[in-house]
């Protein structure tokens, strides 16, 4: 026998040996220990669930939490291999725990007891009976008996029967399995959690899912700026990748705009259960990562003061404490840092409670918030435009001084009725039958003299007024990092050209004193006044100071701006850069200051 045959025979023997070992092991697994391993595998279930990441905080400029998170405990039921009687008894015990601790639970079965009757209207009852394949002649008691038999409920207490049916009906409609849970309650108390955790063996199939829920620490504080979150709808689910059907998503304000930063990254958890639904083990396979924190430029204390002052003064106006009583129901306040355009406070009234939207706002509250005339969801600081009136005259003064139409020392004599155009009157003529007399530019601002500005626009023309109004951002979006901002309108030839209409001299006489089509948002007015106070220097309005990641690093301002531009589809406004004389700014500011020195004129500069 040659060496080649010897090697071949050795290889054959080796293969036979391996085969014999494998057969012995297979015999050991399937025959010797087969029943033991089958019992173990049949009595063990493993499921993977999502750990929803905590939403990032929304903070004020000092780090005070305006919108944070709190723990939410959801009560889930997984299908397990228990008989129907055990299931019914388990559900009844679950209900007793929840009711004892004041927790609500899902129950959409349309029948109540004491007395036994439907909770739906007649037409809806017929539709419901048809949809559930029940005879239309059945009354509420008959339906209740049908479902008692269907769910094999043996209790004699009709109230307990009704409670069990409520959850069993929900399970039937939504379905559940060993991997897909039925949610009995979205948010239960810690007392209930403790009982279910401590007595886990008594509640087969029951599991507590811990997640975080949005919490608005100071109620309605800065509600229009902060916005709110709510359950994701079908359209949002289709347009946003990585969300679950029961996720929450930003719907308005900062919550909406910075959703991608705030939402965080979900984790996963694996749970081992015995065949009867008892939890035997639990461990995290992927940690959830909390969302980034968004730091606003708002000062929470100043914001609260602004909101309180706004409400109180609206009430005083209604009571006639500032003169004639007026039925004023809405208003807004904007406070800017004149040096950098940071929003220190932005209030709009009526306001709303963001937390009411988290779990679904009631129909009654929604109607209250959206009723015509109240419209609590409108941010009047940036989503509504108003005629500026006399506060526009500082723009007119700047334009007149810069173009040389008037000088800082020149006086114009107000006779009360301007002798050109449609012969408009100065307001003082209507009140006192005379004019202001000779006024320079500061005096014209102090006395809000219409006549002075009629003469100014006659000398200058509307084009230059438009130019300076544009520079101060009037009739343009500020591009603040909030959704829904409107542009307002600036009266002038540019607007009329777009409308295909002719601009007349009379239109200029109205426009120069802040009338005609001039309509600006309070935020635009605040920016314009801040630019005056800042020596005429252009400023960018912002309400976001920082975005802080969970590792402590900050997102760059350029990246934030680019993100906001894309999110809100903003376009850059390219106005002509104007170097305004500091002396001209000074004389206008002197006129503004003089208004505050005599109380009789204070109301002239209120919108």
pLDDT tens-digit map of 284-323:
888 888 999 999 999 999 999 999 999 999 999 999 999 8
Identify whether 12 is part of a domain. no
Question: Is pLDDT at 580 greater than 80 in this prediction?
Answer: yes
* Pairwise pLDDT comparison (45 vs 586), residue with the higher score: 586
Question: Is pLDDT at 600 greater than 50 in this prediction?
Answer: no
What whole-number distance in Å separates Cα of residue 1 and Cα of residue 452?
A: 128
Tokens at 560, concatenated? 């934030």
pLDDT tier for residue 1 given thresholds of 50, 70 and 90: low
pLDDT of amino acid 598: 63
pLDDT tier for residue 195 given thresholds of 50, 70 and 90: very high
Identify whether 106 is part of a domain. yes
| Long-range residue pairs from 484-489, CB within 8 A, at least 24 positions apart, any chain | 484/379, 484/382, 484/383, 485/382, 485/383, 485/521, 485/523, 486/382, 486/383, 486/384, 486/385, 486/521, 488/385, 488/519, 488/520, 488/521, 488/524, 489/385, 489/517, 489/518, 489/519
Identify whether 291 is part of a domain. no
What is the extent of the structural domain holding 585? 389-517+567-605
349 backbone dihedrals φ, ψ, rounded to 5°: -130, 135
Identify whether 197 is part of a domain. no
Residue that is last in its domain, among 175, 208, 229: 175
Q: What is the pTM of this model?
A: 0.81
What whole-number distance in Å separates Cα of residue 408 and Cα of residue 405?
A: 10
Q: On the CB side of 384, how many CA atoms lie within 13 Å of its CA? A: 17
* Pairwise pLDDT comparison (294 vs 15), residue with the higher score: 294
Longest dimension (CA), the chain: 139
| CB burial of residue 599 (10 Å; 0-12, 13-18, 19+) | exposed
Tokens at 548, concatenated? 């802080």
Yes or no: say if 429 and 417 are a contact pair by the CB < 8 Å rule: yes
CATH of the domain at 432: 3.40.710.10
Q: Kindly state the percentage of the chain with pLDDT values over 90.
A: 73
Identify whether 422 is part of a domain. yes
pLDDT tier for residue 247 given thresholds of 50, 70 and 90: confident
Q: Can you list the alpha helix ranges (DSSP code H) found in 182-299? A: 190-198, 223-226, 234-239, 253-257, 259-262
Rounded-to-10 torsion of CA 573, 579, 581, 586 = 40
Lowest mean pLDDT segment, chosen from 45-54, 64-73, 230-239, 459-468: 45-54
What whole-number distance in Å separates Cα of residue 454 and Cα of residue 447?
A: 14
Identify whether 367 is part of a domain. no
Tokens at 305, concatenated? 């003061």
Residue that is last in its domain, among 175, 194, 216: 175
What whole-number distance in Å separates Cα of residue 304 and Cα of residue 223?
A: 11
Q: Kindly state the percentage of the chain with pLDDT values over 70.
A: 91
384 backbone dihedrals φ, ψ, rounded to 5°: -135, 140
pLDDT of amino acid 597: 77
Q: Which residue has the tokens 């259960």?
A: 273
What whole-number distance in Å separates Cα of residue 191 and Cα of residue 210?
A: 14
Residues 6+ apart with CB under 8 A from 102: 189
Identify whether 581 is part of a domain. yes
Name the 3-class secondary structure at 414. Answer: strand
What whole-number distance in Å separates Cα of residue 11 and Cα of residue 114?
A: 85
pLDDT of amino acid 2: 59
What DSSP line would sit under 428-442, residue for residue? HHHHHSS--EEE-HH
pLDDT of amino acid 39: 47
pLDDT tier for residue 217 given thresholds of 50, 70 and 90: very high
pLDDT tier for residue 45 given thresholds of 50, 70 and 90: low
What whole-number distance in Å separates Cα of residue 57 and Cα of residue 226?
A: 11
Residue that is last in its domain, among 153, 175, 197: 175
Identify whether 87 is part of a domain. yes
Q: How many domains does the chain have?
A: 2
What whole-number distance in Å separates Cα of residue 175 and Cα of residue 177?
A: 7
414 backbone dihedrals φ, ψ, rounded to 5°: -90, 115
458 backbone dihedrals φ, ψ, rounded to 5°: -65, -40
């Amino acid at each position: 026998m040659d060496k080649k045959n010897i090697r071949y025979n050795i290889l054959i023997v080796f293969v036979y040996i391996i085969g014999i070992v494998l057969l012995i092991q297979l015999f050991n697994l399937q025959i010797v220990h087969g029943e033991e391993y089958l019992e173990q595998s049949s009595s063990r279930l493993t499921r993977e669930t999502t750990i929803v990441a905590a939403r990032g905080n929304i903070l004020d400029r000092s780090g005070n939490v305006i919108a944070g998170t709190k723990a939410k405990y959801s009560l889930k039921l997984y299908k397990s291999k228990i008989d129907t009687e055990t299931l019914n008894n388990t559900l009844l015990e679950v209900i007793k725990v929840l009711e004892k601790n004041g927790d609500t639970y899902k129950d959409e079965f349309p029948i109540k007891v004491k007395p036994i009757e439907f909770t739906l209207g007649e037409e809806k009852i017929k539709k419901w009976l048809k949809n559930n394949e029940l005879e239309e002649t059945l009354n509420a008691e008959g339906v209740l008996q049908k479902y008692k038999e269907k769910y094999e409920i043996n209790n004699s207490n009709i109230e307990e029967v009704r409670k069990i049916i409520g959850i069993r009906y929900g399970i039937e409609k939504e379905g559940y399995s060993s991997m897909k849970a039925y949610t009995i309650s979205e948010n239960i108390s810690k007392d209930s959690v403790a009982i279910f955790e401590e007595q886990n063996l008594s509640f087969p199939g029951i599991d507590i899912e811990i997640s975080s829920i949005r919490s608005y620490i100071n109620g309605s504080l800065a509600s229009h700026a902060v916005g709110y979150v709510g359950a994701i709808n079908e359209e949002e689910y289709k347009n946003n990748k990585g969300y679950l059907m029961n996720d929450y998503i930003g719907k308005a304000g900062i919550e909406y705009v910075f959703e991608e930063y705030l939402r965080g990254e979900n984790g996963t958890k694996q749970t081992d259960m015995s065949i009867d639904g008892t939890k035997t083990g639990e461990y995290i396979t992927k940690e959830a990562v909390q969302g980034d924190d968004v730091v606003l430029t708002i000062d929470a204390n100043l914001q609260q003061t602004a909101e309180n002052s706004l409400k109180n003064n609206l009430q005083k106006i209604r009571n006639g404490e500032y003169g004639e009583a007026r039925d004023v129901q809405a208003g807004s306040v904007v406070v800017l840092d004149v040096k950098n355009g940071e929003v220190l406070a932005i209030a709009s009234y009526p306001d709303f409670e963001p937390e009411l939207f988290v779990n679904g706002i009631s129909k009654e509250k929604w109607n209250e918030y959206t009723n015509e005339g109240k419209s609590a969801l409108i941010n009047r600081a940036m989503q509504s435009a108003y005629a500026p009136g006399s506060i526009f005259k500082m723009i007119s003064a700047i334009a007149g001084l810069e173009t040389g139409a008037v000088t800082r020392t020149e006086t114009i004599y107000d006779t009360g009725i301007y002798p050109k155009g449609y012969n408009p009157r100065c307001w003082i003529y209507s009140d006192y039958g005379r004019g202001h007399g000779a006024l320079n530019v500061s005096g014209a601002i102090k006395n809000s003299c219409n006549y002075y500005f009629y003469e100014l626009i006659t000398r200058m023309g509307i084009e230059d007024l438009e130019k300076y109004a544009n520079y101060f951002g009037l009739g343009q979006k500020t591009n603040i990092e909030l959704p829904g901002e409107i542009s307002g309108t600036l009266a002038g030839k540019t607007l009329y050209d777009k409308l295909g209409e002719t601009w007349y001299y009379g239109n200029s006489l109205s426009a120069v004193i802040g009338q005609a089509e001039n309509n600006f948002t309070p935020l635009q007015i605040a920016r314009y006044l801040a630019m005056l106070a800042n020596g005429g220097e252009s400023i960018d309005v912002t309400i976001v100071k920082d975005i802080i990641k969970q590792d402590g690093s900050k997102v760059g301002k350029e990246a934030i701006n680019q993100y906001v531009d894309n999110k809100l589809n903003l376009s850059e406004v390219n106005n002509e850069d104007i170097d305004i004389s500091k002396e001209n700014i000074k004389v206008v500011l002197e006129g503004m200051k003089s208004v505050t020195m005599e109380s009789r004129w204070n109301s002239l500069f209120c919108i």
